[in-house]
Amino acid sequence: MSDIAGMKAELDALVREQADRRALREQQGEEIKARSQEYMTKQVQAAERYVQHIREVAQRKTKSGWSTDRSHAEPASAFDAEEYPGPGGFAPPPGPAPRPVRDEPRPARRPRAAVEEDEDFNNPW
């Protein structure tokens, strides 16, 4: 009989250990999920700030007149530029040759990495 009682006690201990391990694994999973959620939230906020910055730069470009995008340019005038080359009907004075416009857009600058208060977000996987 003591053999059966010993086996039963050992089985109970194994079941308890398995339940403890399951609970620990679930707790660690929830912690990882929460850290991941916080990390992704910070990434989204950084991306939103970057997009807002790019929009502001684009608005400044068009407002200051140094944008090369012709879609925002003023509509064509009723006066033909060839017929009236400059003020008073005179050709504009010769100046430096205009720089050629690039056909392909420049690659966008990569945003600086946001400084994180907590360095705990480095996932080992």
Report which of 3, 10, 58, 39 is spatially closest to residue 117, judged by C-alpha positions: 39
Is the alpha carbon torsion for 106, 76, 60, 114 positive or negative?
negative
Query: Is this prediction's pTM over 0.75?
Result: no
Question: Alpha-carbon distance 62 to 125, whole Å?
Answer: 44
pLDDT band at 2 (very low <50, low <70, confident <90, very high): confident
Token code pair at residue 120: 């705990």
> pLDDT (tens digit, 9 = 90+) per residue, 66-117?
655 555 455 555 555 555 555 555 555 566 666 666 666 666 666 555 544 4
Give the CA radius of gyration of the chain: 34
Task: State the average pLDDT for the chain.
Answer: 76
Domain ranges of the chain: 1-63
